[in-house]
Amino acid sequence: MAKKQYPLPKRFSAALSEDAYARLRAINAETGLSNNYCLTVLLENLDDLVDGDQLASIYRRFIEEHAGER
């Protein structure tokens, strides 16, 4: 049976740090998925993958360290 293609109708340009891009490429190599699908799987399953309070703390720390870069 042929596999169905998962639609990705939303497109946007994204900038990543070198470390984030390296991690994305590593996930890509490990899974065989494109960058778009890797990000889709991560974001659609974020609540199952990370603790919400811990993620909020990471966001706060990032904002404090990089104020004005949003």
In a domain, 25, yes or no: yes
Could you tell me if 6 and 40 are in contact, meaning their C-beta atoms sit under 8 angstroms apart? yes
Q: Where are the alpha helices (DSSP H) in the chain?
A: 18-31, 35-44, 46-49, 52-65
pLDDT reading at 61 higher than 70: yes
pLDDT reading at 48 higher than 80: yes
- Overall domain count for the chain: 1
In a domain, 42, yes or no: yes
In a domain, 9, yes or no: no
pLDDT on residue 3: 81
Q: Chain-wide mean pLDDT for the chain?
A: 93
pLDDT on residue 2: 77
37, two tokens:
């699908």
In a domain, 13, yes or no: no
54, two tokens:
């811990």
pLDDT on residue 5: 86
Could you tell me if 35 and 24 are in contact, meaning their C-beta atoms sit under 8 angstroms apart? yes
In a domain, 1, yes or no: no
Name the residue range of residue 25's domain: 18-65
Instruction: pLDDT band for 1, please (50, 70, 90 cuts).
Output: confident
In a domain, 58, yes or no: yes
